[in-house]
A = this chain, B = another copy of it.
Amino acid sequence: MRSFFAPRSVAVIGASQTPTKAGHVIVRNLRALGYQGAVHPIHPTLERLHGYDVRPSLVAVPGELETVVVAVPRERVAGCLREAAARGARAVIVVTAGFADAGDEPGRALDAELRGLLAGAPFRMMGPNSIGTLSPADGFTTSITSQAPLTQGRVSFFGQSGMFASGLADMVRSEARFGVARVACLGNKLDVDELDLLEFLGDDPRTGVIGGYFEGLRDGRRFLELARRVAARKPLVVLKSGRSELGRRAAAGHTGTLSGEDAVFAGAFRQAGLVRAEDLEDFFDLLEGFGHLAAAPGGRVAVVSITGLGCVLAADAAEASGLSLPPLSAGCQARMRAVFPPWAPARNPVDMWAAIERSGVEAAYTHLARAALEDPAFDALVLVFTLIPEADFDAAALVARLRAEHPDKALAAVFMGGEAERLRAWSLAFRRAGVPVYPSPRRALRVLAALATRAGLRS
């Protein structure tokens, strides 16, 4: 499996000078990401592409060849697999679509032909209909969309969609949501499937958190056994689509997968200790939380909010997600009152506007957050901001200090409204300081609840 993420050499069949072609972008990305292995674009007549020597065929590639990417019309894919086998390749990624996903007769016939070839193949294959992998620490990718370097980190995610190594990778990078270890797009799963990925990522020392998206599972029983073992070591977030009949039919069209009844999955996932994401936003919210917050907190949460609205919505969300908002200890309450006017109460959730008016925004956040984090009544702190000019200060520096002072507590931020440019700048700075950022109390508390549930399973 390592050959899919960090090969010493890679050939790209279907290399092209046309900038819109997959075989062009794949080679350009390897150059752009600074991949250090050998790159062999394959094309019958081209001589050079993005500074690499082009070879007319796999046979003409000098030296060892570990990994082959296939990006040619579907009729030619089987021939490429035969060549890859002859050449001794260990991993093949087939980008080309139009097999079981097409649903036409030739597509089904070509699908059957690939299955026949794979039966005795000396290599593992990802796809077809897979845009492959991303591995930032190795500068490696086979994505067919333009890639810039991702921040390296401990979160790996994979699934049956090319989006993970294209638009969603771009989102993770440009919003600095978390650092990335490995990404894989499984496509039609004719050979490599979620079991292979789980096994590899479970043992991968770079991977600390795993996210998997499934439209269906080929072998549910084996998956759950393996997932249970992996989840005992690393947080495992799963998003399962095809929850509805309509969704199952769409999944059959997308990657030719048959998916089962949703209720069966729900119970099994819970028993195996997996964290089930409700939708794609929730999936990345959870990966962001587990990616930044290594500590395993309990479910006792303090909320310090610039707005009473944040307090009320946080209280609703806490109850809905099974967290508690216990009272401040007497000592904590006394400390907090020092920044409030005499008439204002200090209670959890803490509505801090009066403290800002009296003591200034930086002093109020600093004092109240420290008091909450030092109160043993709490496992976690949610700081609610609204990014208005009146509440401007170097909050990223503050949360970085708080994280350093209290590595044992979970700290999350909520940005409720405010000016969009400011929101973007603060989000980047907070996440770089290791603090996850959510757009509502509900989404922050949902993630803290998942962290607490996992901590409960482990204790």
Contacts and interface: CB of A to CB of B under 8 A. Distances in A.
Given A167-B416, A174-B421, A420-B171, A312 B97 contact: no
A244 B168 contact: no
Contacts of A159: 309
B106 A161 contact: no
A417 B171 contact: yes
Interface string A286-317: 00000000000000000000011111111111
Given A354-B98, A418-B170, A161 B309 contact: yes
A104 B343 contact: yes
Contacts of A106: 343
Interface in A359-394: 360, 386-390
Interface string A337-372: 000010111010101011001001000000000000
Contacts of A388: 145-146, 166-167, 170
A175 interface: yes
Given A102-B345, A161-B308, A250-B315, 18 more contacts: A74-B343, A97-B353, A101-B308, A159-B309, A163-B416, A166-B388, A167-B387, A167-B417, A171-B420, A173-B419, A174-B418, A174-B421, A244-B320, A250-B312, A250-B314, A250-B349, A253-B308, A279-B313
27 contacts: A103-B345, A104-B345, A106-B343, A159-B309, A161-B308, A163-B310, A163-B416, A168-B386, A168-B416, A170-B419, A171-B423, A174-B419, A174-B420, A174-B423, A242-B312, A244-B319, A244-B320, A246-B315, A246-B316, A246-B318, A249-B315, A250-B314, A251-B315, A253-B347, A253-B351, A279-B440, A281-B439
A309 B254 contact: yes
Contacts of A390: 20, 25, 144-146
5 closest Cβ contacts across the A-B interface? A167-B386, A244-B319, A167-B417, A254-B308, A247-B316
A319 B159 CA distance: 22
Interface string A228-254: 000000000000011111110111011
Nearest to A319: B244
Contacts of A20: 357, 360, 390
B418 A255 contact: no
A246 B170 contact: no
A144 B388 CA distance: 11
Interface residues of A, number: 88
Prevailing SS type, chain A contact patch: helix
Contacts of A246: 315-316, 318-319, 325
Contacts of A104: 343, 345
Interface in A272-286: 279-281
A401 interface: no
A82 interface: no
A149 interface: no
A284 to B, nearest CB: 9
A8 interface: no
User: Interface centre among A320, A354, A420, by most B CB within 10 Å?
Assistant: A420
A364 to B, nearest CB: 12
B102 A386 contact: no
Given A162-B307, A386-B167, A319 B440 contact: no
Contacts of A357: 20, 22
A442 interface: yes
A213 B170 CA distance: 35
A145 B392 CA distance: 12
Contact of A215 (B244, B312, B319): B312
Nearest to A242: B312
A251 B312 CA distance: 6
Contacts of A424: 420, 424
A145 B312 contact: no
A145 B241 contact: no
Nearest to A427: B420
Contact of A145 (B254, B314, B389, B423): B389
A153 interface: no
A145 B98 CA distance: 56
Interface string A149-169: 000000000010111001111
A243 B420 contact: no
